[in-house]
Amino acid sequence: MKLPDEVSETLKSYVYVYIDPRNGQPFYIGKGKGNRIFSHLEDQSETEKVQRIVEIRQNGLEPRIDLLRYGLTDAEAVLVEAAAIDLIGKSNLTNKMAGYHSHSFGRISSQEIIIMASAKETIVKHRALLITINKMYRSDMASDELYEATRGVWVVGPRRENAQYAMAVYQGIVREVYRINKWYPAGTLAYTYRDQQEMKAYKGRWEFDGVIAYDIRDQYVNFSVGKGGQNPIRYVNC
């Protein structure tokens, strides 16, 4: 199926949802232009999304495809997509990655607000990088997704080698602490929740391999280390 050019011009950028006709539940949300909305029907990759489409067709049905919003700019489509994924919850969708919008924050719980309002200040006594992940953070992130958001990819100089720990910081509050094992050029390590090719495209940036620092995390998690400036990286005791 191909959209006529005049229809594509009317739609501009749009956000769409694939719905399972067997239960009426959405299973994929995307954004695009032109014929992007139908491209998944021809996808031959081995993904959960494609498997769902195959299962639907094996039942003699086709996915229902709705436009959530159209006539958007690219920036508006990114925002609508991110909000829709946050609303439904990535765990309820076959989307590999969560929505992301560079000028807004993701979904957080009321409990998160309480933590932000009541967090006590602490002084970082270890050699650490404080890594602000405001744009990528969500309250419902799995632990490995939080790790991926923290470990890369960053513009860091040789001082990175002096840091023993990396702290994931959201709105000035430490959300997790990792012991850094080794640094690699961006895109070296495998990603599950982020686009692997996009990570490789960040030339000159770095990512680290690490593990949760259970020996010191209780000293810092849910404590405030203050908000930094525009640079997402802060070196402490390095």
What's the CATH architecture for 5-92? 3-Layer(aba) Sandwich (3.40)
pTM: 0.68
Residues 6+ apart with CB under 8 A from 108: 137, 138, 139
Q: What is the pLDDT of residues 98-126, one digit of tens each?
A: 666 555 677 777 788 888 888 999 999 99
Per-residue pLDDT band at 222 (split at 50, 70, 90): very high
Per-residue pLDDT band at 58 (split at 50, 70, 90): very high
Six token digits for residue 210: 């690490």
Q: What is the mean pLDDT of the chain?
A: 90
Helices (H), 119-175: 143-151
Q: What is the pLDDT of residues 128-176, one digit of tens each?
A: 999 999 888 888 888 999 999 999 899 999 999 999 999 999 989 999 9
Task: Please compute the mean of the pLDDT values over residues 210-233 and round it to a whole number.
Answer: 94
Map out the domains of the chain as residue ranges: 5-92, 110-236
